[in-house]
Amino acid sequence: MDKNIQQKLYALDHLRALAIVFVFLFHYFILSDGQPEWLPDFAKFGWTGVDLFFVLSGFLISSQLFVQIKQGQNISFKQFFLKRLFRIIPVFVVTVGLYFYIPFFREKESLPPLWKFLTFTQNLGLNLKDFGAFSHAWSLCVEEHFYLFLPLILILLQFTKLIKESYWLLIALFLFGFAIRIYSFNQLYLPEIEDGNSWLYWYKYIYYPTYNRLDGLLIGVSIAGIYQFMPTVWDRISKYGNLFIILSLVVLTGAYFLCYDQMTFNASIFGFPLIAIGYGFMVTGAVSPTSFLYRLNSKVTTFIAALSYAIYLTHKGVIHMTHQLLNDFKIDNNLMLFICMITCIGFAYFLHLTIEKPFMKLRNRIIEPKRNIPPTLATIDLGNWLSRSIGRKVGFVFAMFR
């Protein structure tokens, strides 16, 4: 593999690992009733790890499609969706099975109907109070909607020869996000604000729906568009990799204070795009050869990044089971946090070996790899590369915990 491509993938590994650590810590202090005591203040902003995942997905997935357009190829919706299906569905179905057939796995009592999970519509009208178990699958619904509509839109743009004007669609969708959130806040959430459980309506009408959470995906697509179609512009901005990372931290700091109370008007309307822009700067810096993230090669982050999807799906259930099984031992809260980290990583690694890797190999047999295409960041499937390389990484990581 070309060294520059490998470095870009390592840079994105760091961000994927950061995203899953953020999400894990945020959910952990909720499930542990705010323990350890230092964790809630530290991890309060961890919910934005999902937004970082959105930016990464927007960048990586659209890059794969953009490189085909740039090379004059027609996008194959069938091939694209089959690749996503083999990557996403197997371990998701296993996790859904765990939730529905092993009640002990559930972090809360009740689940939405099975059909909502199987149709990826669970995030629409989600009632946290009555159907709170496996609620974090909402973000997977958003991503699946993205995987469905992005290639279809690009195929239409190819057919109508409007690819060069497609940036107007990005701008329109970004502005649409502001408009629909304003409507959702004023017309759907505010009428329920006097209710004792008004926070449930905020999540239902503002936080979960796909149409309110497009910002991160759109930012990722925009970065990919510049990366693929505007090489001169990219060469100029990529000289300032570390500056972009610093700028991202400044923007995210502002977003932290703006979203300290998530359910205000300003946080609801402007918080999501500000967070997306902040993480967009971070991704831009990470894939710039001048940044320290680009040059940093960490076996630990590569390992965690490879397991991030399985960790995301199962971490709430594993944390719940670990607490229940060890509850009688009166373990120190900090030690319990560490134990839950190990059990979540271990469970995800088991799923990676038994579910993810076999299905990735099956995918490679079914889908003939395209030939005579120069390797670029966009044409290399991150999940496949990580699957091939993980065997070399795991020994190092487990040696650290001896």
Average pLDDT over residues 56-72: 93
Nearest to 288, CA basis, from 8, 98, 14, 87: 8
At 163, the amino acid letter reads: I
Q: What is the C-alpha end-to-end distance of the chain, expressed in Å?
A: 32
Q: Residue 135 domain-assigned?
A: yes
pLDDT band at 5 (very low <50, low <70, confident <90, very high): low
DSSP annotation of 210 = G
pLDDT at 367: 81
pLDDT band at 255 (very low <50, low <70, confident <90, very high): very high
pLDDT band at 377 (very low <50, low <70, confident <90, very high): very low
Nearest to 30, CA basis, from 402, 268, 390, 319: 319
In the chain, pLDDT over 90 holds for what percent of residues?
Answer: 80
pLDDT digits (tens, 9 = 90+) for 176-219: 999 999 999 999 999 999 988 999 999 999 999 999 999 999 99
Q: Residue 37 domain-assigned?
A: no
Q: Does the pLDDT value for residue 374 go beyond 60? A: no
Q: Which residue reads 């839950």 in tokens? A: 340
More confident residue, 372 or 330: 330
Nearest to 363, CA basis, from 88, 45, 156, 86: 86
pLDDT at 368: 62
Average pLDDT over the chain reads: 90
Q: Residue 337 domain-assigned?
A: no
pLDDT at 10: 83
Q: Does the pLDDT value for residue 343 go beyond 60? A: yes
pLDDT at 4: 54
Average pLDDT over residues 265-281: 98
Q: Residue 258 domain-assigned?
A: yes
Average pLDDT over residues 133-162: 95
Average pLDDT over residues 41-70: 95
Establish whether the linkage from the previous residue to 289 is cis, with ω within 30° of 0: no
More confident residue, 39 or 390: 39
The counts of H helices and E strands in the chain are 18, 0
Six token digits for residue 313: 């799906």
pLDDT at 227: 93
In the chain, pLDDT over 70 holds for what percent of residues?
Answer: 89
Burial call 244-268: b when 16+ CB within 10 Å, e when fewer: bbebbeebbeebbebbeebbeeebb
Q: How many Cα neighbours within 13 Å face the side chain of 216? A: 25
At 123, the amino acid letter reads: N
How far apart are alpha carbons 255 and 324 in whole angstroms?
36
Q: Does the pLDDT value for residue 385 go beyond 50? A: no
Residues 6+ apart with CB under 8 A from 211: 176, 177, 180
Question: What residue numbers bound the domain in which 203 lies?
Answer: 47-298+353-380
pLDDT band at 6 (very low <50, low <70, confident <90, very high): low
Q: Does the pLDDT value for residue 1 go beyond 50? A: no
pLDDT at 390: 39
Calculate Rg over the CA atoms of the chain. Answer: 21
Q: Does the pLDDT value for residue 145 go beyond 50? A: yes
Q: Does the pLDDT value for residue 274 go beyond 60? A: yes
Q: How many Cα neighbours within 13 Å face the side chain of 265? A: 6
pLDDT at 381: 45
pLDDT band at 143 (very low <50, low <70, confident <90, very high): very high
Q: Residue 265 domain-assigned?
A: yes
pLDDT at 9: 72
298 Rama class: left (phi>0) / alpha (psi -120 to 50) / beta? beta
Q: Residue 87 domain-assigned?
A: yes
3-state secondary structure of 66: helix
Six token digits for residue 311: 């960790």
152-155 contacts, C-beta under 8 A, 24 or more apart? 152/77, 154/65, 154/69, 154/75, 155/74, 155/75, 155/77
Average pLDDT over residues 80-104: 95
Q: Tell me if 283 sits within 8 A of 243, measured CB to CB.
A: no
Six token digits for residue 99: 């939730």
Average pLDDT over residues 332-336: 97
pLDDT at 286: 95
The region of weakest confidence among 93-97, 242-246, 317-321, 363-367 is 363-367
pLDDT at 387: 42
Q: Residue 168 domain-assigned?
A: yes
Q: Residue 328 domain-assigned?
A: no
Could you give phi then psi for residue 49, rounded to 5 degrees? -55, -35
When divided into structural domains, the chain yields a total of 1
pLDDT at 369: 54
Q: Tell me if 263 sits within 8 A of 197, measured CB to CB.
A: no
Nearest to 188, CA basis, from 168, 160, 207, 169: 207
